[in-house]
């Protein structure tokens, strides 16, 4: 993947980019990792690149579906999901319910259960750290996780009900 080839630069300014390709990759990575950009010109470039790349990838996906190119369709759809939901390829499925993801918040009757309808970052961190799959989550078989996030298991099961089961 292109994102893994480039290391993130913590303080970005307009002089840190050598070529246009490098600039686009760095801006994509900053967007996906929710890094703050201070320069107005880079912010406008980021907005332009993200909006138009999502449109281009959707168009390529439609063309690939019409032509019957399955591999191209799968890769462009995965890039579309990465851009639209700000989720990296190796992330856990439940990350889409976090605050950092731009999917949107789920309504919640009790404000004390979750923070404004989002799954806490602590739960997602432990899900990714202990490699807990969706099958184990559906079976509620995760002994390593219960000792870390006992108070958030109700939240996790609430959000797990929104993920389709195959």
DSSP state string for 85-126: HT--TTS-GGGGGSSSSSS-PPP-S-TTTSBTTB--HHHHHH
- pLDDT number for residue 58: 92
Q: What is the pLDDT of residues 113-139, one digit of tens each?
A: 454 477 777 878 888 888 888 887 888
Instruction: Supply the pTM of this predicted model.
Output: 0.59
CA atoms within 13 A on the CB side of 64: 15
Are 134 and 93 contacting, i.e. CB atoms less than 8 angstroms apart? Answer: yes
- pLDDT grade for 151, boundaries at 50, 70 and 90: low
> Containing H/E element for 5?
helix 2-5
Q: Is the pLDDT of residue 23 over 60?
A: yes
Q: What is the pLDDT of residues 42-59, one digit of tens each?
A: 889 998 998 899 899 999
Distance separating alpha carbons of residues 152 and 64, to the nearest angstrom: 42
Q: What is the pLDDT of residues 58-114, one digit of tens each?
A: 999 999 999 999 999 999 988 888 888 777 777 888 888 877 665 544 544 444 345
- Find the mean pLDDT for residues 19-31: 84
Are 89 and 82 contacting, i.e. CB atoms less than 8 angstroms apart? Answer: yes
Domains (range + CATH), the chain: 2-85 (1.10.3380.10), 93-160 (no CATH)
- pLDDT number for residue 11: 47
């Amino acid at each position: 993947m292109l994102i893994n080839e480039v290391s993130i630069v913590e303080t970005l300014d307009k002089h840190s980019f050598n070529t246009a390709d490098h600039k686009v990759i760095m801006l994509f990575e900053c967007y996906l990792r929710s890094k703050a950009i201070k320069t107005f010109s880079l912010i406008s470039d980021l907005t332009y690149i993200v909006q138009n790349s999502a449109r281009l990838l959707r168009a390529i996906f439609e063309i690939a579906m019409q032509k019957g190119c399955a591999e191209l369709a799968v890769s462009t759809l995965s890039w579309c999901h990465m851009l639209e939901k700000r989720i990296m390829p190796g992330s856990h499925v439940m990350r889409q319910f976090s605050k950092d993801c731009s999917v949107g918040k789920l309504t919640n009757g009790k404000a004390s259960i979750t923070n404004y309808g989002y799954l806490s970052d602590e739960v997602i961190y432990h899900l990714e750290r202990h490699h807990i799959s969706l099958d184990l989550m559906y079976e509620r078989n995760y002994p390593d996780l219960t000792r870390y996030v006992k108070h958030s298991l109700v939240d996790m099961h609430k959000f797990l009900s929104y993920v389709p089961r195959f």
